Chains A and B, each alone.
Chain A
């Protein structure tokens, strides 16, 4: 943590949910403390990369929009992830590239156009209050964020940044990385231990049906609706749950568990979404449809390493 903290932005209007997220809180899950971190690892990593920040730097995760920020100094930023109708002063703000903004400029987040979560990184990185080794903001646990208390941004908050010497210019993410989240997507799922306990028809349905993203979706988990999945195991003795676990409670409707999930749980699981599939799911609007695809471990590891190689 840098000793010098500068005010980068001031919040002139708070949206429904804007959270500071570094890579997440690790090494404390055995105490019941959740992982946190960016719901969309892909977009978050690109925002930091474009602004030349090292892996793990804290960026803002803006969900739904609504937020309005005023720059308190000249800054270099990058906006990635969802198109939330973001405006830089009175012009549409370009995403997936570096953008120089001047003191007094405004950034206004509108409403979701394409995807759900937008990431704002600033060259040098935001400077939050590290709690248990991370500034990741988890509202439910009252941990992290700018104040350390797990609060979503509020009107008049000063957003502190680290001083920066080099401000990158003209960086753009490759077009293939600039995701369109409106398309129906297929999510890679690594089958887990209880997969054999599901009825044959249910397994067929799990990987062939169109699943709809439910309204009940947040940083803890996303519920999917579709054919009822039947499992011979109703509940297990509670055990650790890893990122992307797809659990199936007795109502037969799967829930994919994301960054702020509880650390242990007792429903049978189909398996785990890969980290990139979980990222993609975090950008799905309620009502969007998707499919699940059984992935092989070799390919999943290769894909994940290839993605990470550019950043870490």
Chain B
């Protein structure tokens, strides 16, 4: 690729990414009342989007080979347990991540 072609390619990636972020705000500007259907989606979508995000972040787990997803399941369990027990965001995240690192580096 020439430098020009690289710039165009990166520009296209920027444009595509920005479209996914700006389109909702351009379709429903704050000056005009938002349709009630979109308001409804704005209320129920976030919880579903957070669920989707969890799955997205573990999408490359090998459930049927390798470690069978055991490090991920154990560590996510640890995060949930720590968080319900101590209610400290940093402790839950740091604790779960350390357990995961120990599992993937030394156990599996």
Partners in one complex: no
